[in-house]
Amino acid sequence: MSAPPAGTLRLGSTAPNFQADTSNGPIDFHEYLGNSWGILFSHPDDFTPVCTTELGAFAKLEPEFAKRDVKLIGLSANSTDSHKEWIKDIDEVSGSKLSFPIIADPTRKISHLYDMVDYQDTTNVDSKGVAFTIRSVFIIDPKKTIRLILSYPASTGRNTAEVLRVIDSLQTGDKHRITTPINWTPGDDVIVHPSVSNDEAKTLFPKFKIIKPYLRLTPLEVNNN
Ligand code: BEZ
């Protein structure tokens, strides 16, 4: 099997650094993230309907992300002046107070750096010539490792609850030797990591149950550090 082309981002890649202008002023991306988790999510154009609702929803949920030490940062392939006007609309429509930066990417340099643009078909543009899709979500951990990549079509708004759920799963899995099953939300049983032997599990997760030798479920006690 051949390796992916150089520069192609995958889960486990280091999130490339860049300097950019944003609605909150110039940033160095890695400096902005510092030692926090980050969510970078992108948009092809300002004043687009689906994206307007998404930014408002992320802004309203920002306290939940902050509680988990996650910094939000948007990107849209327009100028900061345009972003600032758009933010007024977003707040008006959503009742939000959007305060995280939105990166200006009028040349799509960062969109290409992060492989957010649909290369499959260069004619895949909307009526204004805007390249689809630039509608990605990246979850980046404090070591700057990419932990999740999602790409959405223009037709379908993202789900902020799902992004938050993945953060909860990743942070829980980093802390305990567990993974999380389908549709897991905090408080549900988790899966004992395959690297944990049954003997170890007896100590780490006294209430674990063997459903199949390869599927062991356990409640996760809050104080189980
Ligand atoms: C939107 O509705 O947000 C949208 C429209 C066209 C292209 C991408 C996004």
Query: Per the structure block, which two tokens stand in for 140?
Result: 């980046």
What is the CATH number for 22? Answer: 3.40.30.10
For the record, the structure tokens of 18 come out as 């860049």
CA dist 213 and 185 (Å) reads 24
Question: Per 3-state DSSP, what percentage of the chain is helix, strand, and coil (rounded to 5)?
Answer: 30, 25, 50
Residue 44 Cα: closest atom of ligand 1: 8
Q: Residue 196's domain is classified under what CATH number?
A: 3.30.1020.10
Which one of 117, 126, 152 would you pick to mutate in the ligand 1 pocket, going by the greatest count of ligand atoms within 8 A of its CB? 126
Site residues for ligand 1, CB cut-off 6 Å: 44, 48-51, 126, 130, 154
Is residue 164 a part of any domain in this protein?
no
Q: Which residues of 68-90 are buried (b: 16+ CB within 10 A; e: fewer)?
A: eebbbbbbbbbebebbeebbeeb
Report the greatest alpha carbon distance in the chain. 62
Q: Which residues pair with 203 in a beta bridge?
A: none
Answer whether residue 142 is part of any domain. yes
Q: Are 164 and 185 in contact (CB under 8 A)?
A: no
Q: How many domains does the chain have?
A: 2
Residue 151 lies in a domain: yes
Does residue 83 sit within a domain? Answer: yes
The position carrying tokens 């939300």 is 185
pLDDT at 124: 63
Q: Same domain, yes or no, for 215 and 132? A: no
Residues 102 and 205 in one domain: no
Do 147 and 191 have their domain in common? no
Do 131 and 202 belong together in one domain? no
Same structural domain, 150 and 42: yes
Same domain, 74 and 147: yes
Residue 189: domain span: 176-219
Q: What is the pLDDT of residue 6?
A: 58
Element (H, E) at 2: none
Confidence of residue 117 (pLDDT cuts 50, 70, 90): confident
Distance (Å, whole) CA 174 – CA 152: 26
For residue 1, pLDDT beyond 50? no
In a domain, 143, yes or no: yes
Place of tokens 């959503």: 94
Of 41, 51, 133, which is best to mutate to test ligand 1, by the most ligand atoms within 8 angstroms of its C-beta?
51
- Across all residues in the chain, what is the average pLDDT? 92
The mean-pLDDT minimum among 100-104, 126-130, 175-179 falls in 126-130
Look at residue 14 and give its three-state secondary structure. Answer: strand
Q: Is the per-residue pLDDT at 123 higher than 80?
A: no
Least confident of 97-101, 107-111, 137-141, 212-216: 107-111
Q: In this predicted structure, what is the pLDDT of residue 224?
A: 45
Specify if 190 maps to a domain.
Answer: yes
Q: List the catalytic residues.
A: 51
Distance between Cα 215 and ligand 1 center (Å): 41
**Domain co-membership, 102 together with 206:** no
Q: What is the side-by-side order of every strand in the sheet holding 136-140? A: 102-104, 70-76, 37-43, 136-140, 146-151
Residues 115 and 72 in one domain: yes
* Residue 50 to residue 44: CA distance in whole angstroms: 11
DSSP 8-state secondary structure symbol assigned to residue 42:
E
Coil, strand, or helix at residue 213? coil
Class of residue 53 by CB neighbours under 10 A (exposed 0-12, middle 13-18, buried 19+): middle
Whether residue 144 sits in one domain with residue 95: yes
Least confident of 4-8, 57-61, 215-219: 4-8
Rounded to an integer, what distance in angstroms lies between the CA atom of residue 151 and that of residue 142? 22
What's the CA gap between 134 and 117, in Å, rounded? Answer: 5
- Tell which atom from ligand 1 comes closest to the C-alpha of 51: 3
Beta-carbon contacts of 109 under 8 Å, excluding residues fewer than 6 positions away, are: 18
